[in-house]
């Protein structure tokens, strides 16, 4: 290892862990001794990371207050030093860090803000519309598979955390995070340059997860039958697909090849595929 590399590593160890090895090799300049000069780098490192967290979590700063947020950020910097080449991803563990330290709804605010940011920065995808479903023959509907746009996410946070994100707490007479609310499932996606979200009912949350894992439309019907009833399930599956297509959440619809045994999940009787397909028109 060359001398420059050794010097760089020694400085890094001092900045990250206050390892004293480099101190003896640093000269006093303009009245600043070695510890004072090295402290400039150590402090700048932590201040820059704290500033990055402030940029990523403005609502959390507002909810906590600037000084408490900065104090929390210092503990986060020490517990979770960055490992990604881009500082953009430094806050990815902040919600879990807050949760581990009793953050409660503050952890949910952090999780919500981080989700919005990652969805906005996610990969581009051109969504398909309702015409994508109409291009399939009615008898092919049971084998339809849904490919969602890659940046789309589902997240579970309290409704008051979302309200805290919406509200300027400095102007609010009562903080919306005073009375914790129940956890709600949310779907978050980006269309063009706008990040959009809406809450999910339990059956849609299940169907979304199943479809994302590769479940066919017929399998969605079967799974929903245990949640909303056999007679209602096919229409509910069709309405969810229509909603996802209308929202711009779907990147592609494909037809899964039939099982070699000749069996495949089908829609429940009483709701033939033709009538389900017609409901999307």
Domain chopping of the chain, boundaries: 3-103, 131-278
pTM for the model: 0.79
One-character DSSP codes across the chain: --HHHHHHHHHHHHHHH--GGGGGG---BTTB-HHHHHHHHHHHHHHHHHHHHHHH-HHHHHHH-HHHHHHHHHHHHHHS---SSSGGGGGGGHHHHHHHTT-THHHHHHHHHHHHHHHHTSPP-----THHHHTS-GGGGGGEEEEE-TT-EEEEEEHHHHHHHHS-GGG-SS-TTSS---EEEEEEEEETTEEEEEEE-HHHHHHHHHHHTT-BHHHHHHHHHHHH-TTTHHHHHHHHHHHHHHHT-EEEEEEPPPPTTS----PPTTS-HHHHHHTT-
Average pLDDT, the chain: 83
Tell me whether residue 116 is exposed, middle or buried, using C-beta atoms within 10 angstroms of its C-beta: 0 to 12, 13 to 18, 19 or more. Answer: buried
Report whether pLDDT(25) > 70: no
What confidence tens digit (pLDDT) does each residue in 98-153 have?
999 887 899 999 999 999 999 999 998 899 999 999 889 888 999 999 999 999 99
pLDDT digit string, tens, across residues 53-100? 999 999 999 999 999 999 999 999 989 988 888 889 999 999 999 999
């Amino acid at each position: 290892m060359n001398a420059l590399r050794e010097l760089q590593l020694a400085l890094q160890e001092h900045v990250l862990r206050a390892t004293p090895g480099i101190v003896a090799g640093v000269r006093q300049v303009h009245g600043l001794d070695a510890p004072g000069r090295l402290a400039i780098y150590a402090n700048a490192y932590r201040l820059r990371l704290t500033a990055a967290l402030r940029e990523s979590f403005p609502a959390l700063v507002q909810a906590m207050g600037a000084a408490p947020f900065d104090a929390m950020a210092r503990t986060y910097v020490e517990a979770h030093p960055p490992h990604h080449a881009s500082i953009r991803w430094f806050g990815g563990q902040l919600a879990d860090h807050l949760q581990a330290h009793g953050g409660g709804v503050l952890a949910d605010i952090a999780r919500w803000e981080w989700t919005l940011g990652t969805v906005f920065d996610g990969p581009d995808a051109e969504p398909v519309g309702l015409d994508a479903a109409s291009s399939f023959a009615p008898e092919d509907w049971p084998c339809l598979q849904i490919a969602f746009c890659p940046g789309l996410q589902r997240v579970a946070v309290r409704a008051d955390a979302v309200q805290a994100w919406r509200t300027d707490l400095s102007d609010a007479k009562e903080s919306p995070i005073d009375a914790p609310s129940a956890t709600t499932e949310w779907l978050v996606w980006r269309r063009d340059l706008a990040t959009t979200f809406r809450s999910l009912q339990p059956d849609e949350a299940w169907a979304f997860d199943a479809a994302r894992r590769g479940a066919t439309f017929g399998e969605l019907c079967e799974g929903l039958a245990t949640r909303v009833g056999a007679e209602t399930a096919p229409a509910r599956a069709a309405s969810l697909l229509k909603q996802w297509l209308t929202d711009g959440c779907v990147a592609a619809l494909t037809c899964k090849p039939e099982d070699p045994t000749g069996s495949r999940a089908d829609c429940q009787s009483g709701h033939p595929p033709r009538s389900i397909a017609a409901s999307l028109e």
